[in-house]
Amino acid sequence: MAAEVAAGTDPAVARNRARLGLATVRGLLLDLLATGDRAGVDAAMEEFFRLYYGSE
């Protein structure tokens, strides 16, 4: 969050993004524990990174 604010992002937006990222990771960890599907969870996390940081 601090890096985004330092780069000029509004603090409220940075806080929301941090919360979204944390919620995503927590949800995927719960998914992994419930299903044991590491490949599926990894793929979902990679997709989140693509959506969050943009496609490269």
The whole model's pTM is what? 0.81
Place of tokens 């979204």: 20
* Residue 10 · residue 16 · CB < 8 Å: no
Query: What distance lies between CA 40 and its chain's CA centroid?
Result: 15
Q: What is the pLDDT of residues 15-51, one digit of tens each?
A: 999 999 999 999 999 999 999 999 999 999 999 999 9
Total of domains in the chain: 1
| Boundaries of domain holding 25 | 2-53
* Residue 31 · residue 44 · CB < 8 Å: yes
For position 54, what pLDDT does the model report?
87
Q: Which of 31, 27, 21, 22 is nearest to 52 (CA)?
A: 21
User: Reduced to 3 states, what is the DSSP secondary structure of residue 36?
Assistant: coil
Query: Residue 1: pLDDT band by 50, 70, 90 thresholds?
Result: confident
For position 56, what pLDDT does the model report?
54
